Structure 1
């Protein structure tokens, strides 16, 4: 057997009104506007840039370990040689990078094209492509390094590129300067 909820009687309503007294409607309250969020700040890039002068004074590598003759360098016709020298010395700030390790040639080619298109779209001028040194490559030599060299030379948006400085990946990476 179900019990029905007791109905509200007129007497109950009167008692309730007497208990709470006079009421007045509340004015609508405007919600507090959301504070604007601060723009993101690249703290890690700032820290990296601040560390460059100190890192450039460190000689914690053996100059004999440098792979002489394996450096990549290219300067598009019509640009002064000074641009390539500045790039080799690390005088441009690297704004983005992509790592091609563990990719086959087809995937690397697509990744490079997409990466450079995105960088151009975002207005980036100096980027790094990590292709690796090809230490596990067969007798034909480093596949991704050669592919990167060929692809970059064919692109109209590439002003110059050079093997990275030792602390940035050495001959296992290339720093690319894009048209502005």
Structure 2
């Protein structure tokens, strides 16, 4: 019976060549993910200078140089806003937008708030200045910051700072903390 198995096997293997290489052919080489991502980025159409960040300039609330800013999202406790206004909630980060263009200030503000949210920061200070413009109109950056902060999803409220922290040229901004749910609203 063993001879039958061997002869059957030999018959079946007739015409088959023995492989001289001891490594298997795995097909085509694996694609380099980094190179593929780089090619995709280079192939995509880029529109320089346009950043979709959710902060609109279509309607800007004009404010005066000495106007005090105050805004709270629905559901934010008055006591929390009172503490913020009195400077009793310590700010853990600060951003100075003095002298920047509106576009640059917007990019920096968006990135700053994103980083503060990522780090679970409760309160930050944003200095926008209050310089009146040469054309006699209201302060440009102050008006834009006032508008943008109302639109940002992580901002619970803001108020002008105490004089020692910049007065009406700066705002304390209270941020939502995602990991400590239930404590902010």
TM-score class normalised by the smaller sequence: 0.5 to 0.7
Match of 1:101 in 2: 98
Shift of 1:83: 1.4
Q: Which has the higher contact order (CA 8 A, sep 6+)?
A: 2
1:144 aligns with 2:141: yes
Query: Where does residue 178 of structure 1 map in the other structure?
Result: 175
RMSD: 1.7
* Partner residue, 2:69: 72
Whether the aligned pair in 2 keeps the contact of 1:94 and 1:127 (CA below 8 Å) is yes
- TM-score (normalizing by structure 2): 0.59
Q: Provide TM-score, normalisation by structure 1.
A: 0.60
Q: Which runs of 5+ in 1 are unaligned?
A: 1-66
1:3-152 paired onto structure 2 within 5 Å: 70-152=67-149
Aligned residues: 114
Q: Which structure shows the bigger proportion of residues in helix conformation?
A: 1
Aligned-pair CA distance for 1:138: 3.0
Query: Contact 1:94–1:126 (CA<8 Å) still a contact in 2?
Result: yes
Equivalent residues of 2:133, 2:140 under 8 A apart: no
Q: Is the 8 Å Cα contact of residues 159 and 171 (structure 2) preserved in structure 1?
A: yes
Partners of 1:88 and 1:95 in 2: how far apart? 15
How far apart, in 2, do the equivalents of 1:136 and 1:69 lie?
13
Q: What are structure 2's unaligned runs of at least 5 residues? A: 1-63, 178-185
- Quote the Cα distance in structure 2 between the aligned partners of 1:68 and 1:110: 23
Partners of 2:66 and 2:130 within 8 A in 1: no
**Alpha-carbon shift at residue 134 of structure 1 (Å):** 1.7
| Alignment of 1:164 onto 2:161 | yes
